[in-house]
Amino acid sequence: MKKHLINFTALSMVFLLFSCATKNTEPTELPEGTITEKLNFIKNPKNFNSESERLNLLFEAYTDYQIEASPMMATFSGKPGYDHLWDDFSEEGLEKDLSVLKIFDESKDWFQPDELTEEDKINLNIFSRSIGNDYSLFSQFPVQYFMIDQIQGIHSIIPAVIQMMPTNSPEAIDNLTSRLEGISALLTDVEKVLSKGIDKGIVMPKNTVLLVPDQLKQMYSKNPEESVFYMPFANLKEDTNIEGQQTIHEIVSHIIGTSINPALKRFTTFMEEEYLPNTRESYGLKALPNGEAWYQEYIKYFTTTDMTAKEIHDLGLSEVARIRLEMEKIILQLNFDGDLNDFNDFLREDPQFYYNTPEELLAAYRDICKRIDPVLPQLFGKLPRLTYGVKRVPAYSEKATTTAYYQSGSLKTGIPGYFFANTYNLKSRPKWEMEALSIHEAVPGHHLQIAIAQELENVPEFRTMLSFTAFVEGWGLYSESLGPALGMYKDPYAKYGQLTYEMWRAIRLVVDTGIHVFDWSRQDAIDYFKTNSGKSENDITVEIDRYIAWPGQALAYKIGELKIKELRKRSETTLKDRFDIRAFHDVVLGSGSIPLDVLEDNIDHWINEQMAIENNTVNK
């Protein structure tokens, strides 16, 4: 699942409410006014009968703030009311948002812990960690200048938002057309921010944005009906939402032809003539002012730990060595004549491991997912209601996009989750990686975890919208290890594929820190990856460029996975025969996305509960 831009847009701008604050005699309701005025009301304990009441109003205000500040995030989360708006990416909007985030960060010290329930304390802890992570990063470092890249930059998020919006009512159609009309202004704001980054010398490495102009060019079309922005309207009836004498198709075609296409062309020209010539040749964050401290903050942000770059680098080297031994065992099992590098070359080059058409590849992914679905109840007591599907990565982004990703849906808006598989360059999409990849991106990986989190009940609403990368991606990688229990990896090549994916995440610990702290070149990272992995050279190059573009994000996978495995082993060792894998997984997923230390507390609490039940049974 890709978190880089969503993490950024969660920090987008605050839209002001309309009226001024008035003293509200009903403390259980937020007063009218700006978000700042609401927070000032909450800050005063005299306005409330209890700390719990005040805390719940803070959470309500924060939920409202998230949705108002990021209409794009609201759409992804299925929150109605803002589908006609875009996030405010202007410099002024960013500054306003940061000032509000500062108050939210300070709010963790407003409450008397002794007057809160245990549940309140847990919610406050999670809230404080989420806000604190955001404020610590965004207040110290100019992350906004990194919003453009060829992997999943703002330009590719725009059509993704449009394509996941509902079209099932006149209001939904109006929202869509309003958003289409707003794309031009949105791109203008993005251009201004990136231009300021150029002035400050804080720009992306050249290799991470080289493909952006070509991606933009694929988004506009001389025939509006062939545009990616026309797709949501293609199947609507001609008389839908008639305005005057125009059908909705005519209205949308006009917007695309007279507003969106010119805006995309202007932005393309900016990227080609202004941004690209001013990009940097260096790769690591260390090359920028205060870069090492910036990278350390990214480590904390993405892993929810205080590990250092050196500790992570060394952990990666250790994991690479361990997994390499496991891979060599399979090579011996297959009686292959050659070493690990020879075997990896064989896997990359032999045509038996590749499909010939995109349709065959997508059909195989769908088959894998539908073979997994019936087995899930054996490992999970609670499953989500939201369904999911398998789609092809859009053509405009496939060349620079990794092998696959997950895009969340929404039960409220009737949008399913989607596992997007990349069909570009089929000779880089081997069959032996498909089972592990399906498990990670669909079930029981991202779809299961994210959909369950969205459907949480009896928790503050903000808890259903959180996304701690170490938890989300750690769960995805841990899920890959469940393959045998799901009936997968019966073929030794598929098992080797799972080890290749685990190796891939271990390599990340080495090369990400190597690039951003230890002065590795791009070629150093590619060579290390190629030596230790069976992945194709195309995949490896795309991955390395991703690590360069998103410092620290790739560290979260292995750190999170190792923590979940550690907690499972602790549970199995302590509970022995009483260990229930379904109950364990339900506890892991049952609180939504949380920091790793909170997850550890939850598991320890569950273990203690199970031990208490056993002791009571023995004593009776």
Question: DSSP string of 185-214?
Answer: HHHHHHHHHHHHHHHHT---BGGGTTTHHH
Assign 24 a pLDDT band (cuts: 50, 70, 90). very low
* Inside any domain, residue 54: yes
Q: What is the pLDDT of residue 7?
A: 40
Q: Are residues 231 and 306 in the same domain?
A: no
Q: Are residues 391 and 256 in the same domain?
A: no
Q: What is the pLDDT of residue 217?
A: 95
Assign 186 a pLDDT band (cuts: 50, 70, 90). very high
Structural domain for 199, as ranges: 4-278
* Inside any domain, residue 97: yes
Q: Are residues 135 and 239 in the same domain?
A: yes
Q: Are residues 303 and 244 in the same domain?
A: no
Q: What is the pLDDT of residues 77-108, one digit of tens each?
A: 878 899 999 999 998 999 999 999 999 999 99
DSSP H stretches of helix in 379-462: 434-441, 446-454
Q: Are residues 380 and 309 in the same domain?
A: yes
* Inside any domain, residue 251: yes
Note whether 108 and 131 are within 8 A (CB): yes
Q: Is residue 52 pLDDT above 80, yes or no?
A: yes
- Domain final residue, candidates 503, 533, 557: 557
- Domain final residue, candidates 244, 278, 312: 278
Q: What is the pLDDT of residues 257-270, one digit of tens each?
A: 999 999 999 999 99
Tokens 């507003």, located at residue: 259
Q: Are residues 134 and 187 in the same domain?
A: yes
- Domain final residue, candidates 557, 578, 597: 557
Q: What is the pLDDT of residues 390-427, one digit of tens each?
A: 999 998 889 878 899 999 998 888 889 999 999 999 99
For the packed helices 581-589 and 596-619, what is the interaxial angle rounded to 10 degrees?
140
The C-alpha atoms of residue 455 and residue 39 are separated, in whole angstroms, by: 27
Q: What is the pLDDT of residue 4?
A: 38
What DSSP designation does 389 have? E
**Total domains, the chain:** 2
* Inside any domain, residue 611: no
Q: Are residues 238 and 376 in the same domain?
A: no
Q: Are residues 69 and 209 in the same domain?
A: yes
Q: Are residues 393 and 270 in the same domain?
A: no
* Inside any domain, residue 127: yes
User: How deeply is 49 buried, as exposed, middle or buried, from its count of CB atoms within 10 A (0-12, 13-18, 19+)?
Assistant: exposed
Task: Work out the average pLDDT over 467-472.
Answer: 96
Return the amino acid letter for 397: S
User: How deeply is 183 buried, as exposed, middle or buried, from its count of CB atoms within 10 A (0-12, 13-18, 19+)?
Assistant: buried
Note whether 545 and 515 are within 8 A (CB): no
Q: Are residues 420 and 505 in the same domain?
A: yes
Note whether 390 and 458 are within 8 A (CB): no
Q: Which two tokens stand for residue 356?
A: 């010939």
Give the count of beta carbons closer than 10 Å to the beta carbon of residue 200.
12
* Inside any domain, residue 123: yes
Q: Is this model's pTM higher than 0.85 or not?
A: yes
Q: Are residues 170 and 232 in the same domain?
A: yes
- What's the start-to-end Cα distance of the chain, in Å? 48
Q: Are residues 227 and 324 in the same domain?
A: no
Dihedral (Cα; 498, 499, 505, 508), 10-degree rounding: -140
* Inside any domain, residue 568: no
The C-alpha atoms of residue 351 and residue 152 are separated, in whole angstroms, by: 30
